[in-house]
Structure 1
Amino acid sequence: MSFYDLCEDSKLFNLLKEGDLNAFAAVHKRYYGILYIHAYKMFPDREEVKDILQEVFLCLWNNRDDIVLELNLKGYLYTATRNRILNIFKHQKIKLAYISSFASFIENESPCVDKQFRLKELTALIDAEVSLLPPQMRLIFEMSRNANLSHNEIALELNISPLTVRKQINNSLKILRMKLATHFLTFLIFYLLHGRR
């Protein structure tokens, strides 16, 4: 057992605040497993849980100078993990509500030139945001979405692992969701307010 394994949380946290990577590694080793189990019970998606925990620990390291523990370290990590999961639920709920409202509206409305124009505008907006993705991420995204290639097919063609492909696609979707959320909401509101003629 190393010195860090024997340290109490408060000591580890103080060392971590001083920039000690070994202390950070010890915190990660000590809490990753139990946080994974805790998160998976709330959100049973293995890959998402891994992403959530990566964000929690990255945030702990990047914000170590500013973090003031009102609880103990374990309590802080549990709370940070729970809050990230609740944010995902909140965003999924909002996104589903938008999609449901939009789908319902499209089904109940007859197409007109103005609406088709606005749909083209939205498509152009999406294409513009895709073009701003980092080159490798954009290529993988377009191969997946436009060429309908599987993760394995893309991996073979680009000589990378399917895991890398999946990660790149997930990251590109996160970026696009963030950048397009405001545009999509504006577009939907405009439709609901002005589309019925």
Structure 2
Amino acid sequence: MDLNAVPLSLDEFNRFKLGDEKVFKKIFDFYRPLMYHKVRRVCSSELDVEEVMQEIFVQLFLKRNSIPSAEAIFPFLFLVAKRTAITLFRKELSRQKYQVSQLAEWDELSDELERTIAHKDLDRMLKTIVSCLPPQQKLVFHKSKIEEMSYSEISEEIGISKNTVRNHLVAACQFVRLKLDGLLLILFLIKNIF
């Protein structure tokens, strides 16, 4: 018998698929310690562990009809746990990045860093980044941000729809912002290391 498979009869498994609470509790009681142990190894806090545990069993209940057999319960739980833990990890990284950026804004080092980077250097970096854009995005970005043209004016001048202008501009701005954030982070790290 597979140690990862809850001992369910076919009747119990069918009742589980129908939403029987007693059978669900049996599954929960069987898998909770095993999943807790696995999740605890990858999550940094007890709060995160509990969040993942709650999510995996909620998903088990909600998606019970898509589970083909009792033997498929553990792989399902494992997959949901893995995905949920990865999502939490990404959220934590984003939160930390946000905190770092907020601290940098208010921190005296941030002011010093801004004074260190001359306007000319920043302008050169921006031009280098913009030069890496695809031709259409580069054109739309230039007309919007440098020439300060409206979507309608750009649309008429280069012969594309306003929605396409907007889409190009959004993509170009995201690319530029991402590259600038990366450069500023590198400069911040260099400043703090040396």
Q: TM-score, normalised by structure 1?
A: 0.46
Q: TM-score, normalised by structure 2?
A: 0.47
Question: Which entry has the higher C-alpha Rg, 1 or 2?
Answer: 2
